């Protein structure tokens, strides 16, 4: 008589996991896909209130394996984190990562949750492991799903280099939590505006046509915050009185072309880190500006100063929504 698929599953003999066959084990866990893990109840009780209560009600021995809903892969990762001197050397796939996080939450295993928080931030990885392959935005959305506030705050700053207009990124945002998407979009908008305004300060001498963005309170907070730090000497464009029509001057035109290019670059990458690369200073827009003979434009002798200023503002502008909120409150309350 042939077995049906369900009968075949019932008839399947569980196999022992080779890494968890301790001779002095006093409890056996059974994964959903039929693999046995012989472990120590004292360790499981120490790390999990759920297992502690479960074993207290069920008893440790005599009733056979404890059947769990998690797969052997998930249980293996959980136990690798729990057991002393074990190392999780491999990079955890995001789909697997989520299942491990669900298990850690279900069984109240703080040590596993803390491990996952560190791992999603790229901490404590060995030299044998590649850097975290998952995009920062995907990791941010996953951390938001589990309510890891401190992790989402740090990961949100890592998303600033993501192009939110790309199809792949839009798919992630549309399929993720709406509040998480709103928060990261808002962060990108504020960071982009503040960087642009900080850059605009260089051309203040062109009068009112400096194209500052955001609300008046935002602009005041941005300028105050930038000025309050230990800024390098500002590479001001000093307009010469010899130019009667400042809006038709070479330095004015080259400055606006450069700003237009930088604004477009910020639309793709809100971090501003692209302005610190040598390739940025090789672009035609900045080459024209640095070689302008009209007025005291950013000539070659000041290029190093401009680089320092860009580095300063990229470092100085807040990189999380909480940091933006703190800075704005500081200046709106008149405490700065």
pLDDT, tens only, 172-207:
999 999 999 999 999 999 999 999 988 887 765 444
Q: Are 197 and 223 in contact (CB under 8 A)?
A: yes
The Cα 190–Cα 77 span in angstroms is: 39
Q: List pLDDT tens digits, range 139-157.
A: 999 999 999 999 999 999 9
Buried-exposed string 24-59: b where 16+ CB fall within 10 A, e elsewhere: eeebbbbbeeebbbbbbbebbbebbeebeebbeeee
For residue 96, give every residue at least 6 positions away whose Cβ sits within 8 Å of its Cβ, in sequence order, or none: 73, 74, 77
Q: CATH number, domain at 99?
A: 3.30.710.10
- 325-331: list long-range contacts, CB under 8 Å, 24+ apart: 327/221, 327/225, 328/217, 328/218, 328/221, 330/221, 331/217, 331/220, 331/221, 331/224, 331/225
The answer to whether position 43 is within a domain reads: yes
Residue 162 CB coordination number (10 Å):
23
Q: Which residue has the higher pLDDT, 165 or 88?
A: 165
Per DSSP, 241 falls in state T
Residue 127 shares a structural domain with residue 258: no
Residue 192 shares a structural domain with residue 297: yes
How many distinct structural domains can be found in the chain? 2
The answer to whether position 178 is within a domain reads: no
Q: Are 276 and 307 in contact (CB under 8 A)?
A: yes
Residue 108 shares a structural domain with residue 199: no
Q: Are 155 and 261 in contact (CB under 8 A)?
A: no
| Largest distance between two CA atoms of the chain | 103
Residue 26 shares a structural domain with residue 101: yes
Residue 215 lies in domain? 188-332
pLDDT at residue 199 in the model: 85
Residue 196 shares a structural domain with residue 323: yes
The answer to whether position 140 is within a domain reads: no
The answer to whether position 159 is within a domain reads: no
Question: How crowded is the C-beta side of 201, counted as CA atoms within 13 Å?
Answer: 22
The Cα 210–Cα 261 span in angstroms is: 15
Residue 328: which region, alpha, beta or left (left: phi > 0; alpha: psi -120 to 50)? Answer: alpha
pLDDT at residue 243 in the model: 55
The Cα 37–Cα 237 span in angstroms is: 70
The answer to whether position 182 is within a domain reads: no
The answer to whether position 286 is within a domain reads: yes
The Cα 314–Cα 98 span in angstroms is: 33
Lowest mean pLDDT among 39-43, 89-93, 94-98, 189-193: 89-93
């Amino acid at each position: 008589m042939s077995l049906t698929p369900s009968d075949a599953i019932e008839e399947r003999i569980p196999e022992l996991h080779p890494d968890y066959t301790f001779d002095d084990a006093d409890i056996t866990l059974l994964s959903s896909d039929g693999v046995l893990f012989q472990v120590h109840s004292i360790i499981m009780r120490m790390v999990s209130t759920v297992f502690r209560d479960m074993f207290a009600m069920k008893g440790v021995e005599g009733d056979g394996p404890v059947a769990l809903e998690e797969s052997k892969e998930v249980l293996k990762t959980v136990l690798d984190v729990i057991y002393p001197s074990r190392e999780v050397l491999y990079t955890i796939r995001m789909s697997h990562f989520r299942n491990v996080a669900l298990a850690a939450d279900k069984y109240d295993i703080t040590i596993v949750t803390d491990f996952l928080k560190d791992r999603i931030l790229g901490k404590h990885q060995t030299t044998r492991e590649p850097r975290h392959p998952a995009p920062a935005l995907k990791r941010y959305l996953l951390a938001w799903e589990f309510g890891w506030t401190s992790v989402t705050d740090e990961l949100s700053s890592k998303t600033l280099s993501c192009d939110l207009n790309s199809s792949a990124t839009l798919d992630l945002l549309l399929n993720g939590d709406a509040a998480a998407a709103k928060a990261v979009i808002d962060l990108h908008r504020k960071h982009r505006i503040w960087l642009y305004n900080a850059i605009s300060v260089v051309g203040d001498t062109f009068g009112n046509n400096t194209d500052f963005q955001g609300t008046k309170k935002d602009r005041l907070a941005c300028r105050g915050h930038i000025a309050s730090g230990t800024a390098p000497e500002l590479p001001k464009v000093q307009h010469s009185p010899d130019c009667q029509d400042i809006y038709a001057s070479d330095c004015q035109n080259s400055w606006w072309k450069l700003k237009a290019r930088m604004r477009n670059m910020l639309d793709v990458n809100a971090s501003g880190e692209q302005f610190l690369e040598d390739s940025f200073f090789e672009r035609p827009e900045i080459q024209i500006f640095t070689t302008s003979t009209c007025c005291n434009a950013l000539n070659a002798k000041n290029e190093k100063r401009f680089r320092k200023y860009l580095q300063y503002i990229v470092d100085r502008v807040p990189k999380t929504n909480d940091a933006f909120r703190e800075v704005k409150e500081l200046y709106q309350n008149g405490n700065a």
